[in-house]
Structure 1
């Protein structure tokens, strides 16, 4: 068979496929389809951004503008940053921001390190009690001790009114450990075996080989832990009686959702809703303050998010 005949035979199926036998998803996009996708995306973006816009605008609006709008401000009026000055000038809101930052930083670091160590050990097929420990991790994903036994445990350890009560009870997530384990098992065994032949031990293999190759999934797991610690308020509601140790989310829940007047710091009792701006602008300012840290961190981790979760989920 000549080269020309072979070429014609190879190109005929492609020509027929391009004339209408290929599936709809492989066809070129139509103008109507592109327009519909664009409109749908614009509507989704507006649905997400519009509430944020109203919250931020209300937080920097004066009492007169909020009163004229009858609630949440949509059209800008008199702009003032008095609400932010009030909540950041001292008192329980400022302390709660510091507490949340400490809990999030320490908790994320501790949880990520422990999860990496547990996942690496469980990813080695010949590790001690490998199946038993893995089965125990799986059980915790479906069954929990419950609120009262957990409270008795925290109380028995003397952690009531301690910031460790907000970190240790949820320090390890079985789901995150399994994601890391699946990723570690997907690493080519010949790489680690070559390092072991060269004299590297498990600690050196983990530090020099496994961790540099697992940046995406570790970033995703750290994001999961960080968001969980920063947004958690239920443990603080159970274990923290001193309002000076409240995290920001508990302050947000108590003041914004329940309308409770929060005590300030110092000798006297000062409410965060006193001053030039009161009520709704202060509530929205607290909400913005709770949103800002996650919005600042997420863009740096977002590019690893899909890769880390999907790759960790399909391996193993």
Structure 2
């Protein structure tokens, strides 16, 4: 007689039900703002302002997106952001992966000292003014390097990657490659990296999203509008729209009040549209990296 399936106890069923309820609540909390912004970006401003639109679109209109994409600065901002994201991610990976592998090598003399020095920078920094003076003295003001190089390496990401190498790459495999005559560089490029695609994908996602959403470095180091990334351009559009909507004061007649109210509604519509424009590319790319992301994070957290 075939063995009977193990029956769940009453406590197991209650625990499972509680988990499902908790996950459902978490899903609603996370998904509702995204769905609301998407619906608000294509709904009539009157429906959004009156609260009539609370989940699904009402009075569908694409005027907000038309106003956003009619601004040529959006396209230049997209081009700059893509350039900064791709170049910055590649530079960060080129710094993070070798550094993490070197610190993971047990035969690397002084690795504990270097690891301690890296850890110090996680808790202590020079501050904004010294950082700006350093970038200025290096001649990187108003260049792409001011966006890429100062944040090229994240100590947290180096530690996670180092943990992945230590817990995943067998020492015996490295020794076998060295016996076959492989140098350390060849070992890293031809053996370690092909086995480390999960953590490479995780680091690419971390650095890529960070570069895509970054605006503070551009705000501080760039003064040429043609080099502004998308986030700075969208900030300018939002500020100008809100200022335009708030223009006017004192005694105004009914027609002027109606015009100002219309400007405020359009400003709100544009606000939701630019939020979607800025976040949609990351949302689209993430599902393709999700498998590697989960695998890399879980393996990299096995031991410290």
The TM-score bracket by the shorter chain reads 0.7 to 0.9
Match of 2:148 in 1: 167
What are the superposed Cα offsets for residues 179-223 of structure 1, whole Å, 9 maximum, x if unpaired? 112222222111111111111111221122111111111111111
Which of the numbers 227, 230, 234 marks the counterpart of 2:216?
Answer: 234
Q: In the alignment, does 2:21 pair up with 1:39? A: yes
Q: Is the 8 A contact 1:254 1:260 kept in 2?
A: no
Q: In the alignment, does 2:131 pair up with 1:150? A: yes
Query: Structure 2: how far apart are the matches of 1:182 and 1:39?
Result: 34
Return the offset for 1:111. Answer: 0.2
Q: In the alignment, does 2:203 pair up with 1:203? A: no
Moved more, 198-207 or 147-156: 198-207
Q: Which runs of 5+ in 2 are unaligned?
A: 1-5, 245-261
Query: Structure 2: how far apart are the matches of 1:31 and 1:213?
Result: 39
Match of 1:182 in 2: 163
Q: Is the 8 A contact 1:55 1:72 kept in 2?
A: no
What are the superposed Cα offsets for residues 152-180 of structure 1, whole Å, 9 maximum, x if unpaired? 01111121121221111000111111111
Match of 2:282 in 1: 294
What are the superposed Cα offsets for residues 219-275 of structure 1, whole Å, 9 maximum, x if unpaired? 11111111111111111111112233222222344444786669xxxxxxxxxxx99
Root-mean-square deviation (CA), in Å?
Answer: 2.9
Q: Is the 8 A contact 2:96 2:153 kept in 1?
A: yes
Query: Structure 1: how far apart are the matches of 2:21 and 2:111?
Result: 52
Return the offset for 1:103. Answer: 0.9
SS of 1:214 mapped into structure 2: helix
SS of 2:123 mapped into structure 1: coil
TM-score of the two chains, using structure 2 as the length reference: 0.81
Q: Is the 8 A contact 2:238 2:267 kept in 1?
A: no
SS of 1:115 mapped into structure 2: helix
Moved more, 103-112 or 33-42: 33-42
Which of structures 1 and 2 has the bigger CA Rg? 1
Query: Structure 2: how far apart are the matches of 1:125 and 1:181?
Result: 11
Taking a change above 3 Å as real, the CA distance of residues 139 and 30 of structure 1, as seen in their structure-2 partners, is closer
What are the superposed Cα offsets for residues 57-108 of structure 1, whole Å, 9 maximum, x if unpaired? 12112345445x3596645332222322222234222221221111111101
Taking a change above 3 Å as real, the CA distance of residues 31 and 194 of structure 1, as seen in their structure-2 partners, is closer
Q: Is the 8 A contact 2:80 2:230 kept in 1?
A: yes
Query: Structure 2: how far apart are the matches of 1:137 and 1:34?
Result: 43
Match of 1:134 in 2: 115
Match of 1:91 in 2: 72
